[in-house]
Amino acid sequence: MKKGFSHGLTNYGDREFSLYLRRSFARSMGLSERLLDAPIVGIAAAPSGFNNCHRNIDELVEAVSRGVLAEGGLPRVFPTISLGEVFLSPTSMKFRNLMAMDTEEMIRAQPMDAVVLIGGCDKTVPAQLMGALSADVPAVQLVTGPMSTGRHKGERLGACTDCRRFWARYRSGDIESGEIETVEGRLATTTGTCAVMGTASSMACIAETLGIALPGSAAIPAVHSARLVAAEESGRVAMSLAKNAIRPSQVITEKSVENAFRLLMAVGGSTNAIIHLTAIAGRAGIRISYDRLNAISDETPVLVDLKPVGEGYMEDLFAAGGVGAVLHELKPLLHLDTMTVQGRTLGQVLETPPGWVDRNVVREFARPISPVGGLVALQGSLAPDGAIFKRAAATQSLFEHEGRAVVFDGLEDLAARIDAPDLEVKADDVLVLKNAGPKACGMPEAGYLPIPRKLAQQGVKDMVRISDARMSGTAFGTVVLHVAPEAALGGPLSAVRNGDRIRLSVRDKRIDLLVDEAEVARRLAGFRQAETPRRGYAALYHNTVTQAPQGCDFDFLAGM
Ligand code: FES
């Protein structure tokens, strides 16, 4: 097999000329002849002035390069687009597939024998894994790592569960504007990804469990020297893959995806990770049904005590033993014959004992935080194709709940009326948000509807909330998400009206609209789809994005 600059030549109709020209231009970068003939490790990097979570990428690139050079290879860093969660409008989710396409095509088009993917913020790791799996060039994922916590009045603060907690206190009048301004400066104080078990952390843990990120690398804080060591080692491993290819398609298999879903349950991970892992698996033609997801959830205990479900932060998971400590507890439930980028099976990786484990953070299998997993899929007349519910972050007294629907037609309607003093709403009502799904507006994290101000001021902290939107992995509450089909496609959600009765049953894993079927059919007969975008990426997105149970990938990107 041709290595380095000699493969994937630019097409001039004369291969020798192409190579001569490429080497000539490579020399203009000051590369020695020895390195011109070396295997190449690409480094897909996504730094951006609009992405705080990637502020340490330059340092990581340097460390990865060190590892590649030490093994006699040539590191070549290349950019892709970068998705900074809170800097993108209408939502970063709309651009995940764009970054996946960018990553896939640049890996495929440029001459590299292996690639190290450096990302961290919510959508970047899924995008990189989707792209790398489709390109199927040997790849190692390196995450930027979680932020360290800040301090406020003697307590630790971390993005972004505490962002929401303090904002809820501010909305309810519990704290003043001066304090919320102070807190604003203490929530996100270092580089790295959100400090709790949100989407970014969930995806980092998933990458390690899949075997495409190095063992022990997911939870290392962004600012810790060990992260640079992991980066250097990632470069070395990528060089071994350049010589003896293990492709992403050999690492990301049905078995490793099941392991990753199990890990997600055990860490009390993000609902968004279900969409992302589904999309990644879909690139290899793997489909884990919602029934299988529920079986995994019912068999897998929650073992990790981190916010938003529990108490700690990612820095605590690192100090407690990391993902390896969790995988050791889950060992009887895992497929141990899955392959990792180091060329060892997961079973071989787990032959090394985890060392001391802080049992306040990572519980033993026999003494879990909860005997069942944190996430479940619901089905029922309101969501014929399913919905997702994070039972680990919800209020147990609302698990079996029937209430009156208070409906918002979309995000603008929600913003305009949720705090209106004349909004007719009671604490046992069910808040319903329509038209926030993938086709409607890119599926923003709007499913965590705020508690109406007048109820918040009465001390109401949680209500049943339902939508076709997503929710931040750092959020909590009794929130039904990802309702499919979405309202903008004419799903039953679009038929819900103020005053309808809705029943949530977590025991039966159901979400039902208690309206006569014929009446629902009559309402849906009048449904008209909104006008679709006509040009550019918005049109491509709208016309080809799939629903949440398919991972919201573009329909033409699924499969190998
Ligand atoms: Fe980047 Fe939370 S904003 S991980």
Give the tens place of pLDDT for each residue, 253-264.
Answer: 999 999 999 999
pLDDT score for 439: 97
Instruction: Confirm or reject: Cβ of 474 under 6 Å from ligand 1.
Output: no
Residue of 48, 54, 121 to test ligand 1 pocket, by largest number of atoms within 8 Å of CB: 121
How many residues would you count in the chain? 560
Contacts of 500 (CB under 8 A, 6+ apart): 404, 405, 513, 514, 515
Task: Respond yes or no on whether the N-terminal peptide bond of residue 533 is cis (omega within 30° of 0).
Answer: no
- Helix count and strand count (H, E) for the chain: 21, 14
Mean pLDDT of the chain: 96
The stretch 54-79 carries a mean pLDDT of: 98
Q: Which helix or strand (DSSP H or E) is residue 115 part of?
A: strand 114-119
474 — pLDDT class (breaks 50, 70, 90): confident
Q: How far is the CA of 125 from the centre of ligand 1 (A)?
A: 11
List alpha helices for 172-217, DSSP H.
177-184, 199-210
Contacts of 501 (CB under 8 A, 6+ apart): 402, 403, 404, 405, 513, 514, 515
Q: What's the token pair of residue 496?
A: 């819900």
The stretch 490-511 carries a mean pLDDT of: 98
pLDDT tens-place string over residues 91-114? 999 999 999 999 999 999 999 999
The stretch 19-35 carries a mean pLDDT of: 96
**132 φ, ψ (degrees, to nearest 5):** -65, -40
Q: How far is the CA of 477 from the centre of ligand 1 (A)?
A: 20
pLDDT score for 475: 84
* CA-nearest residue, atom 1 of ligand 1: 121
The stretch 36-64 carries a mean pLDDT of: 97
Nearest to 200 by CA among 143, 117, 158: 143
Q: How far is the CA of 197 from the centre of ligand 1 (A)?
A: 11
Q: What's the token pair of residue 517?
A: 């079927």
Q: Tokens 């000699």 sit at which residue?
A: 6
pLDDT score for 2: 56
Q: Is the pLDDT of residue 189 over 80?
A: yes
The stretch 394-420 carries a mean pLDDT of: 97
Report the side by side order of strands in the sheet with 139-143. Answer: 74-79, 40-45, 114-119, 139-143
* Gap between the Cα atoms of 45 and 80, Å rounded: 6
Q: Is the pLDDT of residue 368 over 70?
A: yes
Q: Which helix or strand (DSSP H or E) is residue 258 part of?
A: helix 254-266
Q: Is the pLDDT of residue 1 over 60?
A: no
Neighbours of 310 (CB within 10 A): 21
Instruction: Confirm or reject: Cβ of 194 under 6 Å from ligand 1.
Output: yes
Contacts of 239 (CB under 8 A, 6+ apart): 39, 41, 67, 68, 71, 72, 73, 114
pLDDT score for 366: 97
pLDDT score for 160: 86
pTM, to two decimals: 0.97
pLDDT tens-place string over residues 299-324? 999 999 999 989 999 999 999 999 99
Do the Cβ atoms of 541 and 82 come closer than 8 Å? no
* CA-nearest residue, atom 2 of ligand 1: 194
Instruction: Confirm or reject: Cβ of 86 under 6 Å from ligand 1.
Output: yes
Instruction: Confirm or reject: Cβ of 193 under 6 Å from ligand 1.
Output: yes
Beta bridge partners, 390, equal 375
Q: Per mean pLDDT, which range of 51-60, 168-177, 459-468 is the poorest? A: 168-177
Q: Is 29 helix (H, G, I), strand (E, B) or coil?
A: coil
Q: How far is the CA of 160 from the centre of ligand 1 (A)?
A: 8
- H, E, C per residue of 395-461: CHHHCEEEEEEEEECCHHHHHHHCCCCCCCCCCCCEEEECCCCHHHHCCCCCCCCCCCHHHHCCCCC
First-to-final CA distance of the chain: 22
Beta strands in 265-399 (DSSP E): 375-380, 383-390
